Amino acid sequence: MGLLTEGSPLSWEDTKKYADHVRKHGIQQFLNLYHKRQGRTKDVLYWGDEVEYQLVKFDHANRRVHLALSTQDVLKKLKENAEKSDHESRAAWHPEYAEYMVEGTPGKPYGGLVAHFNVVEANMRRRRQDIQSVLNTDEAPLSLTVFPRLGAGNFTDPPYTPNPESGASRSIFFPDEAINSGHPRFKTLTRNIRERRKEKVCINVPVFKDTKTPSPFTEDFSSMDDVNGEAKRSAKPDHIYMDCMGFGMGCCCLQVTFQACNITEGRLLYDQLAPLCPIMLALSAASPIYRGYLADIDTRWPVISQSVDDRTREERGLEPLKEDRFRISKSRYDSISSYLSPGSFCYSDIDLTMDTEIFDTLVNGGVDKMLARHLAHLFIRDPISLFGENINQNDEEDTDHFENIQSTNWQTMRFKPPPANSNIGWRVEFRPMETQLTDFENAAYTVFIVLLTRVILSYKLNFIIPISKVDENMQTAFKRDAAVKKEFYFRKDILTESSPSEATKCSSQCRIECCVGIDDEYRLMSTNEIINGSDDFVGLLTMINTYLGSMECDVETQCTLQQYLRLISKRASGELKTTARWIRDQVADHPEYKQDSVISEGITYDLLKKVSKVSQEETEPSLLFSHHTMTKETLPPAITNTEKYLNKKNPGPRPENNTASTTNGFDEDGCC
Ligand code: ADP
Ligand code: MG
Ligand code: MG
Ligand code: MG
């Protein structure tokens, strides 16, 4: 989950003293890097996924399942095995927030060959096998977003008792032993977020009101060492209350990073994918249960956002500003608040809290205003973990202070500058998605996003809508069954004449004259319409298939890609369930379930046994289709809506020469 610096962590009081120092040098480090690397161009497409897993241990005799706190041992063995292996597809392993989590990425990023789409799933499958090979037979790695009874009673193996008096999180539910013990960063972040906020974090998500759920739904925390009655005060009626970072950062997600050919393309892709974040969050929804209760939300997003919210009462607007500098409208873990390309200015319609001194330093240092706004916004935050050995740095060579603030802004998209002393280019990370149960699904969602970036570049697609509407969509995306029951603001015409990176009609002064009419550019659509198209909207799959039609692509890869696109298509149309809906239905059908929203240990055991089986066998008709059997002969025709759409549109959508060409990332040398 970001930068891991070695050394001794400072207390919050000491970290705070160095906050200005870290920000000042962090920005200087960015400026130095920017001037060295902004002109860098012709980088090739590289890309890779990150999949997070939870390690679980089954107790079959007693029908129980717990989170196995074994990541230190597991990671050590995985890394040793990876070093020994000379296999091309070996994985890279990374620690994550919890002592029951591991993160796996491909050992090397994938490149600009279409055939690479055909190795993602095999690589993911091998990663799962690699983890399984160092576990006992009663243990399993699950790519499940949230453990249903996280923080409910004894949920770890071995069991530990929370320490609300003096633990790093002070949680009454989540013992510090469940936080990664291998690096001090994780506990330090936990403690410092709490100390900066001056109280424990407070997470409330609505409970799902089933026929026998008490109304109002309230919990009695009196037997739980509820220090000063904080839980009693903080828990909202009809909500599931949680009280520490682990409830959010202890969830698993699926992320995709790709390298742009230069900074301009990186900024463009960052902007273009931002409106897709809520859509993909809804389509990947996989987490309807928290702390042993069915919730009325389907994704982890509101939980993780509240779980690291280090804003003080002043910053949250609950008290007048006295000690703090800004009112801040969002948690450090939230959706992005501004676009990056000059032509997207009109659409960055949220009042952006910025450190104006930092903004001036950047602009005086030669950075344009859109990029300066982005950074001056990220840098309103304090560093929340700092290591004594790391305070004084060489700003010409090091980037740790920059990375310190950058990597603790956990937003839907991340713009990643080239790391110091590396040959890596400007990269963009797509971060909203939840992990799916199987390698097939995780590969499908990953490939879908990477393909979309190629299509955006090739056809100069434009998805930009006002960023306030993207935020409204985020609020919709985590609701129960949002993927099929809700509608999202989406751009009516994505085949516009020019890409916003080129349209510099707006400057920061002219919002009023230039920005008129943008409210006519979008309307509400279902995910089905966005993905599969309608008479009035081309649909993303049509664009992807048109693009694939223009590519040289071997039959095997074509089959694989069509299966992936079909999964996304069927999730959007509702023909296949989201993981969240599937989990809800498993619970509803369980004989132990009493329609009271309670997820017992027995239900959790059966659910996770089923999850483990599905993740190995990859057959579950309501969630997946039988993709193993698809061959060239049985492959259905590609989903395409082009004719229907083109006939309606006057004039035609794109000039002839605007087909997949030099910017598709799949040229012979893979260079844009
Ligand atoms: P973080 O946790 O900071 O997001 P990770 O290193 O865990 O980063 O994962 C980043 C992903 O980016 C991995 O899938 C990796 O394969 C991929 N990757 C590595 N190098 C590049 C590159 N030059 N361009 C694009 N992606 C890359
Ligand atoms: Mg991670
Ligand atoms: Mg990572
Ligand atoms: Mg990442």
**pLDDT at position 498, please?**
55
The rounded percent of the chain whose pLDDT value lies above 70 is 89
Listed residue (379, 88, 94) closest to 257, CA to CA: 94
Question: Mind giving me the DSSP string for 513-576?
Answer: HHTTTGGGSEEEEEHHHHHH--SS---HHHHHHHHHHTS---HHHHHHHHHHHHHHHHHHHTSS
Type and span of the H or E element at 604? helix 601-617
Asked if 242 contacts 291 with a C-beta cutoff of 8 angstroms, the reply is yes
| Ligand 1 and 48: CB distance under 6 A | yes
Q: Per residue in 604-632, pLDDT tens? A: 999 999 999 999 988 899 999 866 555 55
| Ligand 1 and 259: CB distance under 6 A | yes
Arithmetic mean of pLDDT over the chain: 91
Residue nearest to atom 8 of ligand 1 (CA): 2
- If one residue of 50, 108, 422, 433 were mutated to test the ligand 1 pocket, choosing by the most ligand atoms within 8 A of its CB, it would be 50
Type and span of the H or E element at 416? strand 413-416
| Ligand 1 and 330: CB distance under 6 A | no
Q: Per residue in 85-111, pLDDT tens? A: 877 668 999 999 999 999 999 999 999
- Distance CA(589)–CA(153), nearest Å, equals 24
CA dist 590 to 290, 567, 607, Å? 18, 27, 9
| Ligand 1 and 246: CB distance under 6 A | no
∠ CA 508-513-514, nearest 5°, is 65
Structure tokens at 255: 């992320």
Q: Per residue in 166-191, pLDDT tens? A: 999 999 999 999 999 999 999 999 99
Lowest-confidence segment of 126-140, 550-564, 647-661 by average pLDDT: 647-661
Closest atom of ligand 1 to CA, residue 107: 16
Question: Mind giving me the DSSP string for 49-113?
Answer: EEEEEEEEEEETTTTEEEEE--HHHHHHHHHHHHHH---TT-EEEEE-SBTTEEEEEESS-B-S-
Q: What is the mean pLDDT of residues 519-530?
A: 97
Those residues with Cβ within 8 angstroms of residue 96's Cβ, 6 or more apart along the chain or in another chain:
1, 52, 71, 102, 103, 180, 249
**pLDDT at position 330, please?**
98
Listed residue (423, 404, 361) closest to 37, CA to CA: 423
Q: What is the mean pLDDT of residues 508-522?
A: 72
Q: How far is the CA of 102 from the centre of ligand 2 (A)?
A: 8
Listed residue (105, 157, 109, 99) closest to 130, CA to CA: 105
Residue nearest to atom 6 of ligand 1 (CA): 105
Domain ranges, ordered by start, for the chain: 15-430
Helices 601-617, 579-588: axis angle to 10 degrees equals 130
- Ligand 3 is an ion; its neighbours by CB within 5 Å are 50
| Ligand 1 and 3: CB distance under 6 A | no
Asked if 543 contacts 499 with a C-beta cutoff of 8 angstroms, the reply is no
Lowest-confidence segment of 4-18, 185-199, 282-296, 599-613 by average pLDDT: 4-18
- Percentage helix, strand, coil, to 5, in the chain? 40, 15, 50
Q: Per residue in 587-596, pLDDT tens? A: 999 999 999 9
Q: Per residue in 419-456, pLDDT tens? A: 988 899 999 999 999 999 999 999 999 999 999 999 99
Residue 160: strand, helix, or coil: coil
| Ligand 1 and 426: CB distance under 6 A | no
**Residue 207 DSSP code:** B
**pLDDT at position 5, please?**
62
**Residue 295 DSSP code:** B
Q: How far is the CA of 448 from the centre of ligand 3 (A)?
A: 20
Asked if 415 contacts 236 with a C-beta cutoff of 8 angstroms, the reply is no
Closest atom of ligand 1 to CA, residue 425: 23
Lowest-confidence segment of 344-353, 532-541, 637-646 by average pLDDT: 637-646
The CATH architecture assigned to 15-430 reads: 2-Layer Sandwich (3.30)
Residue nearest to atom 15 of ligand 1 (CA): 48
Q: Per residue in 480-510, pLDDT tens? A: 999 999 999 999 999 975 555 554 445 444 4
| Ligand 1 and 250: CB distance under 6 A | no
| Ligand 1 and 109: CB distance under 6 A | yes
Q: How far is the CA of 428 from the centre of ligand 4 (A)?
A: 10
Question: Mind giving me the DSSP string for 392-410?
Answer: S--TTT--HHHHHHHTT-E
Q: Per residue in 374-390, pLDDT tens? A: 999 999 999 999 999 89
**pLDDT at position 630, please?**
55
**pLDDT at position 88, please?**
65
Q: What is the mean pLDDT of residues 37-50?
A: 92
Q: Which range has the top average pLDDT, 7-16, 106-115, 448-457? A: 448-457
State the residue for tokens 């399984």.
132
pTM of this structure: 0.94
Residue 595: strand, helix, or coil: coil
The rounded percent of the chain whose pLDDT value lies above 90 is 82
Those residues with Cβ within 8 angstroms of residue 509's Cβ, 6 or more apart along the chain or in another chain:
none
Residue nearest to atom 19 of ligand 1 (CA): 109
| Ligand 1 and 406: CB distance under 6 A | no
CB atoms within 10 A of CB 637: 7
**Per-residue pLDDT at 514 exceeds 70:** no
